[in-house]
Structure 1
Amino acid sequence: MTMPIKDPTLQTLDMRSRDIFRRIVDSYLLDGEPVGSRNLSRMLPSSLSPATVRNVMSDLEQAGLIYAPHISAGRLPTQKGLRFFVDAFMELGDLTDEERRNIETQMLASGSGTSLEQMLTDASQMLSGMSRGAGLVLAAKNEAALKHMEFIQLEPQRALVVLVSQSGDVENRVIDLPEGVTASQLQEATNFLNGHIRGLTLGEARTNIQRLRAETKLALDALSEQLVEKGLAVWAGADSGLPAKLIVRGRANLLENMSEQTDMDLLRHLFDDLETQEGLIQLLDLAEEGSGVRIFIGSENKLFSLSGSSLVVAPYRDKDARVVGALGVIGPTRLNYARIVPMVDYTAQLISRLLR
C-alpha cells in the first residue's frame, strides 16, 4: 500500500494548531458541516477560550488549510487542507475480520464459475455498498485468453461473430459477408480459427494467423480466408477504440450527497467524461503510476475538478504481474479515507490473486 508522505507544513504547526485542525477535519468527514470556535473549545481537552481558538483558526486560514463557507460561519477544510490531513495526519485503519470475510466470500463466489466481467461487476457493487460511494472498476479489454469463435449467418450477406474467452466472457459483433459465401465456408472458417486461437489473447491470435498466412491459403479458399480476416478484424477495430470497460455501481449514493441541481449536473458530467476514451485512459494511467492505493482529492485530477469528487483507486494485476485494470471508490471529498483505503487495497489484492 502506498504510504502517506509527510508534508513539510506539519513542521510549522504547534501541537495546539494540529489538534484544532484535526478536529475541524474530523468533524467535516463525519457530517460535512462547518465547526465554529465555540464548539471547538468545548471539544478540546485543554481549557482554551473561543477567542484563543479563533486566533488559531485565523492562522490555519492564512495557511490555506481551512476556510469559512459563509460570513460568521464555522470553518471547513480546503482541498489543500484535506490533502495535508491525508498525507500528514491520517492513520489508516484496518479491515475487521468480518469485513475481510465478507469481501472474500463475495469475491470467491464471483470467481467460481462466473465470467470475469461478472466478478468485476460484483466487486464494484460490493465497494459501493461498503463505502456508501460509487464503486468503480476499470477492466482492460482483450486480455483474456480465447476459447472459441463462431460465425452465425443472419442474412445472405450478414453474420454474427461470437467470441468466447476462456474466462466465460462472450462478445458479439455483426459483420458484412463477402458476396456468395456459403454455410459450409462459414463453418470452414470457424473450424480454422478455433484450431489456431485457443489459449491466445486476441492480439496473439491475430499475429499467429498472419504468421500462418501461407498455411491459411492452403487450407482455405479465398472467401473463407476473407471470413477469417473479417472475424479477427472486427475486434481489431474495437482495439483502436476504447482501451477498457468501465463498470460503475452506486451512482445513486453520490446523488444523495448533492444538495443542489448544479452539483448533480456536475456529477453527471463527471460520469460522461469517465466513459470517454480519454477518461478511461486517464484512469488506467492513474492506477499504473503507483504500486498501491492512490488518493485524488477534487481538482488534483482534472477528471474530478468540476464535480469536486475524490477518488481512491488501486490497480489489479494478472498472473504475469501486469496491470490489467483498476478499482476504487468515487465519493464526495469527505470520504472516510482511513477506512476506504484498506478496503480498496484488499479487494485489489484479492482480485489479483483470483486472476492468477
Structure 2
Amino acid sequence: MSIQELNERSRAVFRNIVESYVQTGEPVGSRTLSRLPQLDLSPASIRNVMADLVDAGLLYSPHTSAGRLPTQLGMRLFVDGILEVGNLTEEERIDIKARCIIEGRNIEETLSEASSMLSGLSNCAGLVIAPKKDSSVKQIEFVRLGIDKALVIIVTANGMVENRAIELPVGLSDSALQEATNYLNAKLSGKTLQETKSEIQRELDTHQVQIDQLTQDLISSDIASWGGGETLIVRGHSNLLQNVQALEDLDKIKELFDTLEAKKERMKLLELAEGGKGVKIFIGSENNLFSLSGTSMIISPYQNSQDQIVGAIGVIGPTRLNYARIVPMVDYTAKIIGGLLD
C-alpha cells in the first residue's frame, strides 16, 4: 500500500496516531484524537477511520486497550510517505562538527566520539563501523614502549591509523626493531596487509629475507593479527536498555548486542549501508538482525576522498524513533567523518 491510496481523512488520522506514538509510545484513542483541532472529527468518525486502518494492516490494538498503535507496515508507510525530515540548525551543525574534529585525535578516537555523540543526541545507541582494513598501507612503524613491549602504528591510504601494543621477543634490540620496520615498509607500501601476509610469511619460512632470527620472530608472531576486518564501535547501550519493561525484551536487546559483536554481522551491517548513497532506515523485522529485538536502525555510509565507502555510522533504537530529527543528524555526521578521511 502507498500513502496515496489513503484518502485525506485517513491520512490525517493515521499521521496523528503515528506522531503521538513517536512522542509517547502509548496507544491513541478516538476521544483523544477528536480533541485535536487539526482533525475536526467526531470520535465516531475517527473510530470508523481507525477500523479501516486496522483492516489495511497499518494499525493494531495492543492488549485490551481502546487505543491504537502503528504496525511495522504502518511505520514503514509513515517513514516513506509522510515523514518530513527536519533540518539541523546552524548551532547543531557547529556542535557536531566541533565534537568530531579535534586536533591531535586519531580517526579511531573520532569515530568513538561520533558514536557517543549520536547516542547522546538521540537517546539511543550510537554505532560506527570503522573503515575496512583492506586499504593499502601507507606506512608502518614500531615504537618501543619498554623492554618487552612496542606500539605498532599502521597508517593506511584512506587515512586510518591503527595503533596496537605487541609483545617483543626477549632481547630484541632497537636496531632489530628498525630492521623490521624497514622490511615491512618495503613489502607493504602500496599494498594491503591481506595481499602480502602470505608472501611475507613464505619468505620468513624459507629464510629468503636477510634479517636476524629475533626480527623474524617479531614479524611472524604478530603479522597474522593485523588488519583483521571491520571494527564495530557501539556507545549508549544503556539508552536502549532503560526503556525495556519486560525481562523477555531485555534479553532480546542483550542478544542483539551480542550478535552485533560477531564479525559476519558487522559485515552485514556494512553491506546494508553500502546499498546506495544516503541514509537508510530499517524498521523491526525488515532486517533479520533486528527482528527479535523489535528495534530500528538509521544508518548512513561514509566515504573517503576517493568516494569509496569505507564505513558506516548510525543509531539503533525503538521503532518509535524520532526519525525526523535523527536522520539529518546521522546524515551530517557521516559527511563530517568522510571529510576527515584522505
> Which bin holds the TM-score, normalised by the shorter protein?
0.7 to 0.9
Paired AA for residue 99 in structure 1: E
SS of 1:273's partner is helix
Aligned pair 1:341/2:327, yes or no? yes
1:70 shift after superposition:
2.1
Distance 2:256 2:233 in 1: 14
Aligned pair 1:150/2:139, yes or no? no
Paired AA for residue 169 in structure 1: E
The match for 1:317 is 303
Aligned pair 1:118/2:104, yes or no? no
The match for 1:37 is 30
Aligned pair 1:307/2:296, yes or no? no
Alpha-carbon RMSD across the aligned residues, in angstroms, is 2.9
Write out per-residue CA displacement over residues 309-328 of structure 1, whole angstroms, 9 at most, x where no aligned residue.
11000011122221111100
Matches for 1:17-36 after TM superposition, within 5 Å: 17-36=10-29
1:37 shift after superposition:
0.6
1:197 shift after superposition:
4.4
Matches for 1:149-168 after TM superposition, within 5 Å: 149-150=141-142, 162-166=151-155, 168=161
The match for 2:315 is 329
SS of 1:289's partner is coil
Aligned pair 1:280/2:280, yes or no? no
Distance 1:210 1:291 in 2: 39
Match of 2:253 among 267, 281, 290: 267
1:277 shift after superposition:
1.5
The match for 1:58 is 51
Distance 2:177 2:66 in 1: 73
The percentage of counterpart residues that share the same residue type is 49
Match of 2:91 among 95, 98, 119: 98
Q: Do the aligned partners of 1:217 and 1:225 also contact (CA within 8 Å) in 2?
A: no
The match for 2:130 is 139
SS of 1:140's partner is coil
Paired AA for residue 275 in structure 1: E
Segments ≥4 residues shifted beyond 4 Å: 151-155, 180-187, 194-201, 204-213, 221-227
The match for 1:232 is 223
SS of 1:56's partner is helix
SS of 1:169's partner is strand
1:13 shift after superposition:
1.1
Q: Do the aligned partners of 1:163 and 1:172 also contact (CA within 8 Å) in 2?
A: yes
Distance 1:309 1:204 in 2: 38
The match for 2:165 is 172
The match for 1:130 is 121
Write out per-residue CA displacement over residues 205-238 of structure 1, whole angstroms, 9 at most, x where no aligned residue.
648858999xx83643566446444443342xx6
Give aligned pairs, total: 334
**Cα separation, partners in 2 of 1:66 and 1:226, compared to 1, 3 Å:** same
Distance 2:104 2:305 in 1: 19
Distance 2:120 2:14 in 1: 30
Distance 2:239 2:213 in 1: 55
Matches for 1:197-212 after TM superposition, within 5 Å: 197=188, 201-203=192-194, 206=197
Paired AA for residue 285 in structure 2: S
Unmatched runs of 5 consecutive residues or more in structure 1: 1-7
Paired AA for residue 27 in structure 1: S
The match for 2:7 is 14
Distance 1:38 1:305 in 2: 33
1:103 shift after superposition:
0.4
Distance 1:302 1:218 in 2: 49
Distance 1:72 1:195 in 2: 70
1:247 shift after superposition:
0.8
1:191 shift after superposition:
4.2
SS of 2:93's partner is helix
SS of 2:101's partner is helix
1:162 shift after superposition:
3.5
Distance 1:65 1:122 in 2: 38
Paired AA for residue 49 in structure 1: S
